[in-house]
Structure formats: structure tokens, C-alpha cells
């Protein structure tokens, strides 16, 4: 029997410098750009800039700030209650992205719950909670990324274990929701796998789902339980604000017609930047062919926005078209770095000034390349979990 037992350092361990002040972090949604060389930032974020010189990512330290008054006062009022309620909130991690789970625990000031996860020789998964969760509000952090089916099954068994251990509420925290692209029928006799997965999670016993940047908002309707949709745009917007790009030089680009609503919302936060659309025609799954561009990008800094990068065909062909149309620089921004082959070869080919992603999925070190920047969404998820636990507003984070 193969064993994959999880072991994490206690929360009392020293927090990395880039997370030391994260408990006072709020993600700004409204940003403005200036031409000033000395750009003053009013936000804090954690990022990893890949540096292949020494083989390790370097982490820049950014200016700090305190919470706005409407959040700071609420947190001060609830700080005592939170310390008393810590024993009623339990946070567990699956094996898909334990690093993100640990960062969330650091932000929340909690220890990750003790859990044993094993793989039997025939591939079956064994889960045992090694501490009591009776009457507790339990949060299970498990993106259903590659290997998708194993991680999904692991999540279902974790939910079942919590339910059978008499947890009061079980919330599945799914930073990346696998099968989200199978959200409708485009041809006859196709399955709608996103609905099937939603049914599986619900029937396993989850009371709530917390997911990041679903491929389409309609996926929330597939669940018969509450879904908190966490938008990671503020983390990327916060990072872009540090680049001192003049507002008149920016243009936000949707890589396809289906992403126009996402790109329009992103552009509105970037000083209401103009919008361009890449007209894309697919000849098959994971195969994209760019046809033409709607909008003007000549002499501008183009920011392509998508929910995920899989094989990178859409992004790279779009970037090539933008350069042909006269774009000065092209940035690619996405929440989920799926990076299926040959994504790394395409993204590191020189067409993109920078590829900005988040850590909703773990990015293997072998997939680092010089243009890659990884931003942490741990603070955002940690704050969302606290608000769900406290029965507070989640949507106000993104206002």
C-alpha cells in the first residue's frame, strides 16, 4: 500500500516575510494608472517571479497597508469572537495543492487539521481524519486539477469522511474546478460533465462550495447547495497597478468572444481601458485558430485576460495577432495555470512580455520560465473562508 500522509508545520512557525502582514490585506478593485516613474502603491500582494538563474523563484516585497475603515472596524469587533470560535472551524488540505492550503492557514492563524490520505496498491484512496470534527465548521481545500479524476475522488472521500464524523457543516474549497469547461452541449450526444461533478459533490455531503473563477457563471446553477464564487481579478489587478503603465496606453483583450464579459469587467477596473476582441475559430478540442481582431491595439500595451491557460494555443496565437496589428507589448493574465503540454514551449517563445497567473493550481518548478509570474490567492481565500464562517458578506470584498 502506497502512503501519502500529509504533515504540516504548526501555525506558530515563522511566517514568510511576504505573508507577515497578510492578515491586514484587502484586494483593491478600483485602480488607476499614472505615467509617474515613482508609482505609489496602496496594496500588498504575494508573488513569485521565476528566476531561472538560480533555479528558485524570488519573492519581491511590496509596500504594506491597513484595512479600509469599513473592514477594519468589522474585524476589530469580531477579533475576540474569532479567537473563541477557532476551535469550531477546521481547515483540512487534500494532496492536490498543500502549499496553498498552508498559506491559507497562515493567513487565518490556524493549524491545518490532521488528516491521513493513502493510496492503495490498486489505486484506491483511503482518508482518515486524525482529530475530532464533531459539531465543527469544516473547510476542505482541494483543487480538482491534474490528475483530475484522482483529486476529484479524493475530495469526495474527504467530504464523506467529514460527514460521517458528524461535522456540522462541510464546505468544499475548490480553487480550480475541473470539468468546468464541459458546461453545455455544443454537439449532439455530449455529456454535461460539470453538472455531473456538481451532483457528485452535493451527494457526497458537501453543504457549500467555494470556487475561484469558474469557466462560466452558469456552473453555479448546477449545484443544489450554496456556491460562493471568488473572483481572483483583484489579485492580478493589484499586481498590474505596480507597473506604472499609462492609462491611455492600455487595451484589454478578450482571447475569444466567450470571454468578452470577463474582459469588459477587467477593463472597467483598469481605468476603464478600451476593449479588443480576438475572433477565434476552433477546429477541435485544445486547438485554436485565430481569424481576426476587433478593436485597435496599435502602439498600445495589450493585456489578454482569460480564466485559464491550458495548452496556450489561444493565448499565443492571439499574442501573435496582436503583434501583427502593432501592439507594443502583450501581457497574458489568467487565474488557472493548467499548462498542459506544449504550453511551456509556446509561452516562453518570446511573444509575451509576461505571463501572470495565480497559485490556484500548483505549478511544478520544471514549468517555470523567465516570463512567468505567480501570484498568491491565499489571503483572498482565507478572508472569504472567515466571512463565510462568520456569516458576513463575501461580495463586499470585490466592491
DSSP-derived pairing of the beta strands 250-254 and 275-284: parallel
Checking if the pLDDT of 313 tops 60, the result is yes
Checking if the pLDDT of 144 tops 80, the result is yes
- Residues near 70 by Cβ (< 8 Å), separated by ≥ 6? 396
92 and 221 together in one domain: yes
- Could you tell me which of 317, 322, 278 has the C-alpha nearest to residue 298? 322
Q: pLDDT tens across 349-398, in order?
A: 999 999 999 999 999 999 999 999 999 999 999 999 999 999 999 999 98
Checking if the pLDDT of 341 tops 60, the result is yes
Residue reference for cell 492503495: 120
Name beta bridge partners: 211. Answer: 174, 229
Checking if the pLDDT of 59 tops 80, the result is no
Q: Is residue 51 part of a domain?
A: no
pLDDT of residue 1: 52
218 and 340 together in one domain: no
Q: Is residue 198 part of a domain?
A: yes
The strand ranges marked E within the chain are 2-5, 47-49, 89-93, 115-119, 125-129, 137-141, 169-174, 208-212, 227-230, 250-254, 275-284, 287-294, 301-309, 329-337, 354-358, 372-375
Report the pLDDT averaged over residues 149-155.
98
Give the 3-state secondary structure of residue 266: helix
Q: Is residue 63 part of a domain?
A: no
Q: Is residue 173 part of a domain?
A: yes
Report the pLDDT averaged over residues 146-170.
98
Q: pLDDT tens across 97-127, in order?
A: 999 999 999 999 999 999 999 999 999 999 9
139 and 221 together in one domain: yes
- What is the count of structural domains for the chain? 2
209 and 319 together in one domain: no
Distance CA 154, CA 269 (A): 37
322 near 350, Cβ under 8 Å? Answer: no
- Could you tell me which of 249, 371, 248, 355 has the C-alpha nearest to residue 301? 249
For the chain, give the percent of residues with pLDDT over 70.
Answer: 76
Q: Is residue 36 part of a domain?
A: no
Q: Is residue 151 part of a domain?
A: yes
pLDDT of residue 258: 85
What is the residue range of 184's domain?
Answer: 87-230
Confidence bin at 72 (pLDDT 50/70/90): very low
Checking if the pLDDT of 44 tops 60, the result is no
Q: Is residue 357 part of a domain?
A: yes
238 and 333 together in one domain: yes
- Could you tell me which of 302, 300, 314, 305 has the C-alpha nearest to residue 356? 305
Cell numbers at 376, concatenated: 498568491
Q: Is residue 166 part of a domain?
A: yes
CATH, residue 312: 3.40.50.2020
211 and 136 together in one domain: yes
137 and 204 together in one domain: yes
150 and 225 together in one domain: yes
58 versus 376: the higher-pLDDT residue is 376
Q: pLDDT tens across 214-233, in order?
A: 998 888 989 999 999 999 99
pTM of the model: 0.80
Confidence bin at 347 (pLDDT 50/70/90): very high
201 and 249 together in one domain: no
155 and 237 together in one domain: no
183 and 306 together in one domain: no
Checking if the pLDDT of 22 tops 80, the result is no
363 and 267 together in one domain: yes
Amino acid at each position: 500500500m502506497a502512503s501519502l500522509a500529509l504533515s504540516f508545520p504548526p501555525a506558530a512557525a515563522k511566517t514568510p516575510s511576504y505573508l507577515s502582514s497578510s492578515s491586514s490585506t484587502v484586494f483593491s478593485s478600483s485602480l488607476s494608472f499614472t505615467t509617474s516613474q515613482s508609482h505609489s502603491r496602496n496594496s500588498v500582494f504575494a508573488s513569485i517571479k521565476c528566476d531561472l538563474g538560480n533555479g528558485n523563484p524570488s519573492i519581491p516585497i511590496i509596500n504594506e497597508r491597513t484595512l479600509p475603515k469599513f473592514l477594519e472596524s468589522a474585524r476589530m469587533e469580531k477579533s475576540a469572537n474569532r479567537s473563541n470560535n477557532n476551535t469550531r472551524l477546521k481547515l483540512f488540505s487534500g494532496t492536490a495543492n498543500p502549499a496553498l492550503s498552508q498559506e491559507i492557514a497562515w493567513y487565518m492563524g490556524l493549524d491545518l487539521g490532521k488528516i491521513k490520505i493513502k493510496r492503495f496498491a490498486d489505486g484506491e484512496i483511503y482518508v482518515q481524519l486524525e482529530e475530532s470534527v464533531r459539531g465543527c465548521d469544516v473547510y476542505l481545500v482541494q483543487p480538482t486539477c491534474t490528475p483530475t479524476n484522482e483529486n476529484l475522488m479524493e475530495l469526495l472521500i474527504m467530504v464523506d469522511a467529514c460527514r460521517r464524523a458528524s461535522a456540522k457543516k462541510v464546505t468544499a474549497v475548490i480553487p480550480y474546478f475541473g470539468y468546468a469547461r464541459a458546461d453545455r452541449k455544443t454537439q449532439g450526444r455530449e455529456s454535461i460533465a460539470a453538472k455531473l461533478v456538481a451532483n457528485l459533490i452535493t451527494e457526497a455531503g458537501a453543504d457549500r462550495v467555494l470556487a475561484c473563477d469558474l469557466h462560466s457563471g452558469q456552473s453555479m446553477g448546477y449545484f443544489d447547495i450554496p456556491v460562493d464564487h471568488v473572483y481572483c481579478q483583484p489579485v492580478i489587478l493589484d499586481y498590474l497597478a505596480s507597473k506604472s503603465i499609462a492609462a491611455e496606453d492600455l487595451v484589454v483583450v478578450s482571447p475569444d468572444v466567450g470571454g468578452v464579459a470577463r474582459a469588459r469587467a477587467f477593463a472597467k477596473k483598469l481605468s476603464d481601458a478600451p476593449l479588443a476582441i480576438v475572433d477565434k475559430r476552433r477546429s477541435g478540442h485544445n486547438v485554436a485558430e485565430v481569424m481576426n481582431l476587433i478593436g485597435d491595439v496599435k502602439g498600445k500595451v495589450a493585456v489578454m485576460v482569460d480564466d485559464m491557460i491550458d495548452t496556450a494555443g489561444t493565448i499565443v496565437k492571439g499574442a501573435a495577432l496582436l503583434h501583427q496589428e502593432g501592439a507594443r507589448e502583450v501581457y497574458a493574465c489568467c487565474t488557472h495555470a493548467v499548462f498542459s503540454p506544449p504550453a511551456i514551449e509556446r509561452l516562453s517563445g518570446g511573444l509575451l512580455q509576461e505571463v501572470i497567473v495565480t497559485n490556484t493550481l500548483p505549478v511544478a518548478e520544471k514549468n517555470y520560465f523567465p516570463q512567468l509570474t505567480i501570484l498568491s490567492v491565499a489571503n483572498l481565500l482565507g478572508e472569504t473562508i472567515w466571512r463565510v464562517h462568520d456569516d458576513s458578506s463575501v461580495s463586499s470584498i470585490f466592491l
